[in-house]
Amino acid sequence: MRFFLSLLLFFSFFTSWSQPVQPLAPRTRRTSVITQEGETLTLQEAISAALEKSYQVRIFRSQEQIARTDFKTAKASFFPNVTGNLTNNSNLQNLRQEFLDGLRPPQNLYGITNRNTQVGVGVNWTVFNGFGNFITYDRLGEVVKISEVNTRANIEATVADVATGYYDVIRQLQQLVSLRQALDISRDRLELARANYEVGTRSRVDFLSAQVDYNADSSALVTQQQNVRNAKVLLNTLIVRDPATEFAVRDTIIVRTDISLDQLRESLTNNNPLLIAASLNRRVADLNVRLARSQRLPVVNLVGGYNFTAIDNQGGFGVRSARNDALQYGIQASIPIFTGFNQRRLLANAQTNALITEYQESDQRLQLQQALEQTYSQYRNSLILVNLELESFKIANENVEIAFERYRVGNSTAVEFRDVQRNAVAAETRLINAEYNTKIAEIELLRLSSQILQQTK
């Protein structure tokens, strides 16, 4: 009797909720029958480790930094471009000359050095290009915002994955406890069947059947131990540490029952990063249309420069040395008249792309709303199932107690007792899965509404 009371104490449940789900008193699930190795890992610790070490989060943050750098350097388009140049040309000559008039003697010069040096500074300042520099600056600002919301979306997805993995470890451990307790019952039955067989009150068939069922339960336990190990390896991978790291987890899944669909809808509309990114992409597409139109307008540049030239000639003919400096300034203007209809093509494509982003935003909103409605329906149904499965679990375990007593005194066959035992294990498994599915639906609702960073616990 004490064993079955411990089974009832094994399950935790959640606080009260409004109709049609009937409220139940909180329960505490006990997994003390399983010794967990390693330090206890809380959900918050797992999330913090993942956000700090996740390579995907690092990648998105690095891409965000690139966008910020591009935005900062875009201010340079409002200022003049200044270039400096230096040219130094030298040559070494050997000169041998004979003159036609015969009056001058031949001239032979060796190692003549000629040098021409030019130093200059040029300035080019675009004072008008159809406001293209302003549009580009605004566009890069929107790209920074897109990078920020993409990073947030990745962070929220990472938190959801870690939370799901953490609660899966708890689920697998709970199922391991269930199977270990079922194995204890099978061991008691096997010992009873052996004793009855040895004194002659039961047949050898009954004893062998008990042995087969015990072996089957032992095999299920070994398989479930591997499931626990796989769940822990996955969680270790999500938080970016050695997959073989051993750890313990808390043994309770606390399910929220106060989630409001209206609040979820409002939060999704205002805060979902995927929806915000779609809106920003549409804004960028509109700016691209304006940029394409600006290329039809004139471009006006102010130009200027200063150049210094030095000439040194050792040849003895012409200019032996010279120094020259000059200051240039002016204005340049250009306007595209005919570009083979290329400007028309670019504008048409930009307008079409703006229309595409508008469709994408509407489709994204519809897809997110669909996911929210379906997940909330799953969440509500899972809450109802937890109530039903908890009641079934109580009845099934009471049945096991009665069936074992009947089997012990010989009023029930081994087949009848085994069926009752299987029903109890199946009822407990359904309850564990219903509780887990409710929690996973809750996590997904918080992710869709972008509340997961504030409310995951």
Question: Taking CA 242 as the corner, what is the angle to CA 435 and CA 443, rounded to the nearest 5 degrees?
Answer: 25
Report which DSSP code applies to 128: E
Once rounded to an integer, what is the mean pLDDT over residues 366-381? Answer: 97
* Distances, alpha carbon 95 to alpha carbons 100, 110, 114, 269, 361, in Å: 16, 6, 12, 86, 78
Q: How far is it, in rounded angstroms, from Cα 363 to Cα 358?
A: 9
Residues 6+ apart with CB under 8 A from 316: 109
What is the per-residue pLDDT for 31?
43
Residue 2, number of CB atoms within 10 A of its CB: 6
253 three-class SS: coil
**346, 292 contact by CB (below 8 A):** yes
Neighbouring C-alpha atoms within 13 Å toward the C-beta of 144: 14
CA 144 to chain CA centroid, Å, is 18
Sign of the C-alpha dihedral computed for residues 312, 317, 322 and 324 taken in this order: negative
Buried b / exposed e across 238-274, counting CB within 10 Å, b at 16+? Answer: bbeeeeeeebbbebbbebbbebeeeebbebbeebbbb
Q: How far is it, in rounded angstroms, from Cα 238 to Cα 231?
A: 11
What is the per-residue pLDDT for 23?
37
Once rounded to an integer, what is the mean pLDDT over residues 373-389? Answer: 95
299-313 and 107-128 beta bridge pairing: antiparallel
Structure tokens at 98: 């004979």
Report which DSSP code applies to 255: P
Once rounded to an integer, what is the mean pLDDT over residues 73-87? Answer: 89
Q: What domains can you pick out in the chain, each with its CATH number?
A: 2-79+129-298+335-455 (1.20.1600.10)
Which residue in this structure is represented by tokens 């009848």? 416
Predicted model pTM: 0.82
**261, 376 contact by CB (below 8 A):** yes
Q: How far is it, in rounded angstroms, from Cα 242 to Cα 343?
A: 56
Q: What is the overall mean pLDDT for the chain?
A: 86
- Over residues 334-349, the pLDDT tens digits come to 999 988 889 999 999 9
What is the per-residue pLDDT for 22?
39
DSSP-assigned states of every residue in 153-220: HHHHHHHHHHHHHHHHHHHHHHHHHHHHHHHHHHHHHHHHHHHHHHHTSS-HHHHHHHHHHHHHHHHH
248-249 and 40-41 beta bridge pairing: parallel
**397, 424 contact by CB (below 8 A):** yes
What is the per-residue pLDDT for 14?
31
What is the per-residue pLDDT for 317?
58
Residues 6+ apart with CB under 8 A from 70: 140, 143
39 vs 38: which has the higher pLDDT: 39
Q: How far is it, in rounded angstroms, from Cα 28 to Cα 176?
A: 17
**95, 108 contact by CB (below 8 A):** yes
Strands (DSSP E) contained in 31-187 are 40-41, 81-97, 107-128
Percent of the chain at pLDDT > 70 equals 90
What is the per-residue pLDDT for 35?
64
Structure tokens at 267: 């939060």
Beta bridge partners of 114: 91, 313
Beta bridge partners of 83: 122
Amino acid at 35: T
- Over residues 107-149, the pLDDT tens digits come to 777 777 778 899 999 999 999 999 999 999 999 999 999 999 9
